[in-house]
Amino acid sequence: MSTPSAAVSREVYRIDWLPGTDVLHGTCHCGAENTAEDPVRMWEWMLAHPEGHQPGGTTS
């Protein structure tokens, strides 16, 4: 599980598949968040860091 200390000291990417939906919720190691319904697109967004990533904000 991701913890604040882990996120600070290591590059940890996290994607939660939201229960009861088809939606993936991604959190970059920088804190930026995103939602998508396609894991390929989610990883593309995640790995484009820092492009399009706003720490603490949600990108759609």
CB of 6 to another protein, least distance (A): 8
Q: How far apart are CA 1 and CA 48, in angstroms?
A: 23
CB of 58 to another protein, least distance (A): 18
CB of 39 to another protein, least distance (A): 4
Q: What type of residue is 58?
A: T
Q: Which residues contribute to the site for another protein (CB under 8 A)?
A: 1-2, 6, 10-19, 22, 24, 29, 37-40, 42-43, 47
Query: What torsion do the CA atoms of 44, 49, 50, 52 make, to the nearest 10 degrees?
Result: 20
Q: Which is nearer to another protein, 15 or 59 (CB)?
A: 15
